[in-house]
Amino acid sequence: MESDGIGNKIVLQLEEKEPRKGYIQPVQGRNLQNKLRFSKSPQKWWEKRYEPNMKEITSAQDLVDSLRNAGDNLVILDFFSPSCGGCRSLHPKIIQFAETNKDVLFLQVNYEEHKSMCYTLNVHVLPFFRFYRGANGRLCSFSCTNPTVKKFKNALAKHTTERCSLGPAKGLEESELLALSANRDLSFNYIPKQKPISVSAEEQLRERPNLADTEILLPSTEDKHLAEQPAEASI
């Protein structure tokens, strides 16, 4: 608001202009914080198009439970790293396999988040896969990339055939469970299975009766005399 020199007041309306290129228009601090808070970060490549039968492992206990609760279904462990180029290029095909094999459970294990667990499970190359099913436990393990994806296809076709395994799902080997439990970096506890007590040969000999202490009944003289007489012929 300005004066015209005579005493009348003049109201001036400022025209809003578009900011120049390269010019950053100031925003109030509170509005800027709200925009940053609700802005979505770009989706990570290994999180894209997750299928219902795909799951990301969060801990060693989660891995053990997921394998044991899978029943007789085929389970595939997919060890990957966000910085692995081979893992990234192969990921879209893994999603396709999950789409066409709804009964197969794909467990994603992020190597960068679970390095200590991967070391304990002897995973030293990426991408790396392990196949598990029912009471048979681990069926095969191998590494492959896009050029060698046929190895994955063949294993998938071989182990998705209908079968019935007797007993509960085995999951990891006993030695692997013990190794995970011994790893101080992991919050995982495992109680070893009690093996049946085997009786040693020495204990078996102790349980056998001593022939020297056993009473032996000898035939009497009368029984011996009757045995020597000829038998009467029947008419």
Q: What length does the chain have? A: 235
Catalytically annotated residues: 84, 87
Segments in the chain forming alpha helices (H): 29-38, 60-68, 85-100, 115-120, 150-159, 174-182, 201-207, 221-228
| Surface-to-core class of residue 9, CB atoms within 10 Å of its CB (0-12 exposed, 13-18 middle, 19+ buried) | exposed
pLDDT, tens only, 58-74: 999 999 999 999 999 99
Q: What residue type is assigned to position 207 of the chain?
A: E
Q: Which residues of 203-215 are buried (b: 16+ CB within 10 A; e: fewer)?
A: eeeeeeeeeeeee
What's the pLDDT score for residue 160? 92
How much is the pLDDT for 15?
47
Which stretches of the chain drop beneath a pLDDT of 50? 10-16, 36, 235
d(CA 28, CA 22): 19
Tell me the backbone φ, ψ of residue 136, rounded to 5 degrees.
-75, -20
Q: pLDDT for 101-125, tens place per residue?
A: 999 999 999 999 999 999 999 999 9
What 3-state class would DSSP assign to 95? helix
- What is residue 144's predicted lDDT score, i.e. its pLDDT? 97
CATH architecture of 45-182: 3-Layer(aba) Sandwich (3.40)
Q: What's the pLDDT at 210?
A: 60
Handedness of CA 28, 33, 34, 35 (dihedral sign): positive
For the chain, the structural domain boundaries read: 45-182
